[in-house]
Amino acid sequence: MTIDDRTLTEQGLDTRAEANTSARVLLLACGALAREILALKAANGWDHMDLHCLPANLHLWPDRIPDAVEAAVARLRDRYARIFVVYADCGTGGLLQARCAALGVEMVAGPHCYAFFEGVERFDAHADSEITAFYLTDFLVRQFDAFVWKPMGFDRHPELIAMMFGNYEKLVYLAQTNDPALDRNAQDCAARLGLAYERRFTGYGDLTPALAALA
């Protein structure tokens, strides 16, 4: 099965009723993290982990994320010994953390994926000085038009760019991979928004130890 960043993704999800649940872990994740999670699973041989991704476009309506996570947990939890929610707070204002606590499942620590990719402590250390920075990850560079340009109406009303980004100074590309094509695309995103450009290689940041702890 190929990965479509814009739609629900399931990889390795065992739907057999007789599946052995004694040691299996379900990673219930944001679709924007599918590539990174699959790369970490493959690199580390974490074959006991199955990945189920909710649609990445839930980020356009973060208030819907807790209910979507709860519905997936209710549907899948009997098949797994453990469920780990691979979302940060992601704009839910603490509601996702509260819902996960009520469901008895763990989740990634941090306010959003920008923070845990860079490392929450490192991100927090310069957050106040980068209040005028706009961040992209590998996923958002690939899906810039679908998740930024069109939802904000810039394709139809380019005059909105100055209105919405007039107080921003730079675009920071937090790169999970060293991909020259993505780097060029990120530079183009910065130019389209009229922002200075900075690239930081983060790798997978705190996502790696968070998943390693499940092994």
pLDDT digits (tens, 9 = 90+) for 180-209: 999 999 999 999 999 999 999 999 999 999
Is there a single domain that holds both residue 133 and residue 64?
no
For residue 28, being part of any structural domain is answered with yes
pLDDT recorded at residue 22: 65
Give this prediction's pTM.
Answer: 0.87
Pick from 170, 16, 22, 123: which is nearest to 82 by CA?
22
Q: Do 159 and 90 fall within a single domain?
A: no
% helix, strand, coil for the chain, step of 5: 45, 20, 35
Domain boundary among 44, 79, 108: 108
Residue 70 is predicted with a pLDDT of: 98
Domain-terminating residue out of 52, 85, 108? 108
Indicate if 142 and 181 belong to the same structural domain.
yes
**Judgement on whether residues 104 and 136 belong to the same structural domain of the protein:** no
Tell me which residue range forms the domain holding 168: 114-201
Residue 172 in domain = yes
Spacing of C-alpha 112 from chain mean position: 8
Q: 46 and 15, same structural domain?
A: yes
Do 170 and 82 sit in the same domain of this protein?
no
pLDDT tens-digit profile, the chain (215 residues): 334 444 344 444 544 434 456 689 999 999 999 999 999 999 999 999 999 999 999 999 999 999 999 999 999 999 999 999 999 999 999 999 999 999 999 999 999 999 999 999 999 999 899 999 999 999 999 999 999 999 999 999 999 999 999 999 999 999 999 999 999 999 999 999 999 999 999 999 999 999 999 98
Say if 96 falls within a structural domain.
Answer: yes
Is 210 domain-assigned? no
Q: For the chain, how many structural domains are there in total?
A: 2
Residue finishing a domain among 51, 78, 108: 108
Parallel, antiparallel or unpaired: strands 49-54 and 25-30: parallel
